[in-house]
Amino acid sequence: MSAPAITETKSATPVAPAAPPPVEKIKIKVDGREIEVPKMMPDWQGRLQPTTMLQACQLAAQEVPHYCYHPKLPIAGNCRMCLVEFGTPMMGPDRKPVLNEDGSTKIAKSVLPYEPTTPRGAIACATPISPGMEIYPSSPATKQMREAVLESLLINHPLDCPICDQAGECKLQEYSVEHGQAQSSFVEAKVHKPKAVDLGPRIVLDDERCILCTRCIRFTKDIAGDDALGIVNRGSYNTIAAWKPGAFDNNYTLNTVDICPVGALTSKDFRFQMRVWFLKETKSLCTSCGTGCNTVIGSREEKVYRYEPRQNDAVNSTWMCDSGRLNYKWINRDDRLKDVLVSGAKSTWTTAIKEISGKLVKAPQGSVAIVASARQTTEELYLLKKLASKLGALTDSVPREGEGDKLLVNADKNPNSNGARLTGIAFTEMGINLPKIADGIRAGRIQTLIVFGEDVTKCGIGADVLAKLDTLIVSDILPNETTRKAHYLLPGCAHVEKRGTFVNVKGRLQKFMKAVEPKGDARPEWEFLHDLVENLTGKNGYASIEGLFNQMAKDVPAFAGLEWGKLGDTGVTVKF
Amino acid sequence: MIVKRTQLTWWERLYLPALIGGFKVTLRHFKNTITGRTRVTQQYPEEPTKVPPGYRGAPYLVRDQDGDTKCVSCQLCEFICPPKAIKIIPPGDSGLQSDRANAEKMPREFEINMLRCIFCGFCQEVCPEEAIFLKQDFSLTGLARGEMVFNKEKLLSLGGTHAGIQKWKHKLDEAEEQETFPIQT
């Protein structure tokens, strides 16, 4: 047997987070409650900068409403929504703090210089804290400031929520309810700006709804590195525009739809498809490349409507690429494999699994080969490896190389290449065994081929070679040349229809959840693989994904000590 | 508080006068019915029933005074509907554009399952466009379940017209007035 056994892979343990260096802390008061906050905190690039009032309030569990501030973007400070009233310790002429009669420090509230009775707020997102500072995020003055800012932001807003895709996840709606006032004192005609502007191939802009927070401009300039957007015209006629109509077309444009706090930027793909409040949100992963961006699947009534990125600072920050985000339509394709086929005729799982088990039990050692897919979950690959060990089978998976970029897209287009390597299905150089398998079939040594999720006719095992096999067992999601040749066809599931884990290119082990039910008779691969392994080895395995994962963690050295329940939403990094 | 029991007089304690008084009323009604002076029984369904104004009957979609579909497919009624009787298929980006130029969208399909509908009126109350109204129809019949699922076309034809403030038209007029501003590129 040439493939390495599971126990031969290098032993490793999950990386424990390094002990943080001692942090210098300062004491401030938020709404009268004293807390200690770090003097410096990471900014959008992760560099330490003086802590801002907004960050301090967040640490004190006091949410400060904001539009232009985004933790992963440079600070602009233009929406004014995060205005808060604050005060600093009063200093005497001797530069010593002035004390109250009871001995406490006297606080000088920030006021207008020409009107000392009027509080003067500061934008919390860009004002650093200082020792002894007092912030009042829920004082009457702060509330008044918020009401006034919201009224001003709504002056030219069209309030066309019934036809706006953002309704339901719109910060303008939310803050208007929470912090706004019922009436506007603006009686003049609203300024009308262009609607449904074609900003790029995937983005539509409604200029009337825009509150000019410039999040999209900052994102595309500083994160995506494509300085395509800017503001044109003056005053009330301020308008977001691409440098040339339709020129906003980099691979990260749809992130601006996520960060747009209002309904100005909308996705052409999702536009008018479904209202967001109907969507069930499921934590999942993107499978389009080896990066493994964390996603949220929005689905309703067994239909996937959109993917959105989910924050994971160890993988994708809060972004994902457009190509990965739009790669979901095949899930609802009409030609999805839905039936169990035995020699082309419709059959049942019980019959098929029984017949396959019978054939595999009788198969001589080394007469079976397995071509797995690095698009399968780690659990499925682990079960296939178990099967291979029992049968003495040659295994491999198919490499899938493409183009990567500097931000998120990886050149490895398989989501679980490292999972295939760690479970022992594939070698470091993936696909090295495929010619051997082809030769084995031609020479008649290999009579049974098990293929999971790949079209082997495209990687050296052509239709003429497949014709020489006694038994071809194929599991796939969509029909291809190999599935048409299969003696046993087992319909599998897309990742949105099952649970499991992937190991990304950097060794991050992450789990994903099930959003919709499998189509037709299709079953998650790990379920029927579990049945097969049980029939062949005689050992009862685990019938749940949790148990299966925990069993795998015991058997695969790289996953030692891990448990399904302890993976969390953002996964753990494994060493290999 | 203590309520004092009324002392009945001798005449009242006799009870018979009250009894006879009651019979008089009965006899009067009997006579009026026999002679046809009062008619209580309504010959439904031969005679249609008149329901009071504000009666909550079946919900239908309405058009505005220009004959345009008012519904913009915001799906709030679908969300609020307690028995989940309403199903809306939104237009999608390349789908059906609205009758009115700047309303941007209207439903591709709008179905109300009248077998499920409980005539509660939440849809009318929640509608931000005044596009759905509970009309006076209370007796809906059909020979199959499928017949009782009313589609957009049927709902619009049953609903008729409801003149409103036409906010989209006003918005459009306002925008057209401002066209003088040099944004054209």
Task: Confirm whether A118 is domain-assigned.
Answer: yes
On whether any CB of chain A is under 8 Å from the CB of B97, the answer is: no
Residue A219: is it exposed, middle or buried by C-beta count within 10 angstroms (0-12/13-18/19+)?
Answer: buried
Interface of B with A in 23-62 (CB under 8 A): none
Query: In which order are the strands placed within the sheet that holds A303-309?
Result: A280-285, A294-300, A303-309
Q: Are residues A327 and A338 in the same domain?
A: no
Smallest CA-to-CA distance from A211 within A151, A255, A127 is with A151
Task: Confirm whether A79 is domain-assigned.
Answer: yes
On whether any CB of chain B is under 8 Å from the CB of A301, the answer is: no
* B52 Cα distance to chain centroid: 11
CATH of the domain at A191: 3.30.70.20
On whether any CB of chain B is under 8 Å from the CB of A238, the answer is: no
CATH of the domain at B68: 3.30.70.3270
Could you say which of B102, B177, B178 has the minimum Cβ distance to residue A195?
Answer: B102
- For residue B66, give its domain range: 59-165
On whether any CB of chain A is under 8 Å from the CB of B101, the answer is: no
Query: How many CB pairs lie under 8 A apart between chains A and B?
Result: 59
A-chain CB neighbours of B185 within 8 Å are 245
pLDDT in tens, A196-219: 899 999 999 999 999 999 999 999
What pLDDT score does B40 carry? 79
- For residue A132, give its domain range: 26-138
pLDDT in tens, B31-85: 998 998 988 788 888 988 889 988 999 999 999 999 999 999 999 999 999 999 9
Q: How far apart are CA A73 and CA A127, in angstroms?
A: 16
pLDDT in tens, B80-99: 999 999 999 999 876 667 88
SS3 A169: coil
CATH of the domain at A66: 3.10.20.30
ipTM score of the complex?
A: 0.83
Q: How far apart are CA A126 and CA A75, in angstroms?
A: 7
B-chain CB neighbours of A278 within 8 Å are 75, 78-79
Tell me the shortest Cα–Cα distance from A383 to chain B, in angstroms.
42
On whether any CB of chain B is under 8 Å from the CB of A196, the answer is: yes
Task: Confirm whether A3 is domain-assigned.
Answer: no
Chain A contact probe: residue of B89, B183, B184 with most A CBs at under 10 A: B183
Closest chain A CA to residue B167: A160
Strand partners, A242: A229
Task: Confirm whether A13 is domain-assigned.
Answer: no
Let me know how long chain A is: 576
Task: Confirm whether A223 is domain-assigned.
Answer: yes
Could you say which of B90, B128, B171 has the minimum Cβ distance to residue A162?
Answer: B128
What parts of chain A have a pLDDT lower than 70? 1-21
Could you say which of B93, B105, B177 has the minimum Cβ distance to residue A163?
Answer: B105
Residue B88: is it exposed, middle or buried by C-beta count within 10 angstroms (0-12/13-18/19+)?
Answer: buried
Q: Are A110 and A120 in contact (CB under 8 A)?
A: yes
Q: Are residues A221 and A82 in the same domain?
A: no
**pTM for the predicted model, two decimal places:** 0.87
Domain count, chain A: 3
Q: Do B90 and A275 touch (CB under 8 A)?
A: yes
Strand partners, B59: B134
* B95 Cα distance to chain centroid: 30
A-chain CB neighbours of B72 within 8 Å are 162-163
What pLDDT score does A8 carry? 38
On whether any CB of chain B is under 8 Å from the CB of A354, the answer is: no
Q: Are A512 and A284 in contact (CB under 8 A)?
A: yes
What pLDDT score does B181 carry? 55
Q: How far apart are CA A240 and CA A237, in angstroms?
A: 10
